[in-house]
Amino acid sequence: MRCLLLACLTTSLCAQAAPCFAGNDSSTSVTTSISGYGFTAPNVFAYQFQAPSTGVVLAGQLYTGNVNLTPGFETLELWDHDPTTNAPGFRLGGGTWQIAPGLGVTWQGCNFDQTVPVIQGNDYWLVWTDPGSSRLPYEPGGFTLPMMRRSGVNWLVGTPQPLKYRLFCNYLESAAVSNLGTACAATNGRIGVAFTNEVPNLGNAAFKIEGSGFAPGALAVLAVGWDPNWSAVPIPGAALGCTQNTDLLNATFGLAGTGTVRSNTTVGAAGHVRFPFAIPASPGLVGLFLSTQLAGLDAGSTAAIPFSFSNAVRFVVQ
C-alpha cells in the first residue's frame, strides 16, 4: 500500500499516515509468548519480505512491548537480501527506541537514520534486536514470513513467523504528534532523527522525546519552541541542508548513548538520545502546543556550527 499524502494546516495535527508496507497489522491480536533471554548477547531476529511497491522508507514499527527488562532498548533495521547466502546482506537504515513499560503491548518503533529506497519485487529483511523478554510481535494464525536468527556472525534459519510490522514513507506521527522539516546527515552518513512513542496526555510523566542516528557519546541538544506557525529555515553556519525546524524557547543538553540494547538510561544504546518531558497533571495545559528539535555534535564537520539537526516533533497536550 502506498503512503497517503497528508495536507494539514500548520496549526493542526494529523493522524498517522497509512504504512507503505505492512503485515498482520489490521488487528491487535498478538501472541502471549515473550522472547528468550540469552546471557551472552541480545536477540537478533530477521524476517524476509518482498516489497509490494517502489518507495522510500523513513520509519518502522512492531507490535510489541516489554515490562520485564527496564530500562532497556530495542532496534529495528532494514537490510538488503544476499542471494548468495539467502540471508540478510547489508544494513540499509534503522533506529533505536527505549522500552516504555507504561505503553504495554502496542505499536512502537522509531524513525530511521537513513532514507531507504525499496524496489517493487525485491527482497528485504526486517532485523529486530531486543534485549530479551519482549513480547514477540507475532499474530496467531497470521501470514508468515521466512525468519532467521543471528548467532555470532552467522544467520541460522528459523521457523517462519507471522510478524506484525509497519513500514512508513513518512516520519512517525499520531493524532496528537506531527513533524516539521527534514533531518540533515552528519559526516558519517547517518541522519539524526527525532520521534516519540508516547502520547502527550495530561499527567503523562513518562512522555519523552527520543532520537536515533547520532554519533555514540556525542553532545546532544533538545530545542523547544511553541510557535505553531514556524516554518523551517536554513541555519547559517551549519552544513548545507540543515534547517531550524522550531523556534527556540528553551534548550536542554545531554549525551548520545554508547552501549547496547541492555544498557541503562545513563549509558544508553549507541547513537540513541533521550530527553524526559514529563507533562504535569495541570488542566490549564490542555491544548498547549510545543515543538522540539534535536541536534547532535558532528566531530567530523568543518562547518562553523558542527552539528547535525533532526526533524521537529510537534505535539499538543491532550
Do 160 and 185 lie in a common domain?
no
Per-residue pLDDT at 23: 98
Could you tell me if residue 199 is inside a domain? yes
What are the mean pLDDT values of the chain's consecutive 10-residue runs (318 residues total)? 31 66 97 95 97 97 92 96 98 97 95 98 98 97 98 97 98 96 96 98 97 98 98 97 97 98 96 97 97 98 98 98
Triad 221, 275, 245: Cα angle to 5°: 50
Do 164 and 25 lie in a common domain?
yes
120, 138, 168 — which closes off a domain?
A: 168
Per-residue pLDDT at 131: 97
Do 162 and 181 lie in a common domain?
no
Do 147 and 280 lie in a common domain?
no
Could you tell me if residue 108 is inside a domain? yes
Beta-bridge partner residues of 212:
193
Per-residue pLDDT at 70: 81
Domain that holds residue 225: 177-316
Could you tell me if residue 304 is inside a domain? yes
Per-residue pLDDT at 69: 82
Q: How many domains does the chain have?
A: 2
DSSP-derived secondary structure letter, 279 = -
Do 229 and 284 lie in a common domain?
yes
Per-residue pLDDT at 236: 97
CATH code (residue 114): 2.60.120
Triad 67, 113, 79: Cα angle to 5°: 85
How much is the CA Rg of the chain, to the nearest whole Å?
19
148, 168, 188 — which closes off a domain?
A: 168
Triad 37, 214, 45: Cα angle to 5°: 30
Contact residues for 82 (Cβ-Cβ < 8 A; gap 6+): 88, 89, 90
Could you tell me if residue 120 is inside a domain? yes
Per-residue pLDDT at 11: 39
Do 236 and 257 lie in a common domain?
yes
Triad 27, 32, 34: Cα angle to 5°: 120
Per-residue pLDDT at 15: 57
- One-letter amino acid identity for 23? G
Dump the DSSP string for 171-229: ---BTTEEEES---B-TTS-B-EEE--S---TT-TT-EEEEESPPTT-EEEEEEE--TT
Do 48 and 155 lie in a common domain?
yes
Do 142 and 243 lie in a common domain?
no
Do 148 and 241 lie in a common domain?
no
Per-residue pLDDT at 12: 43
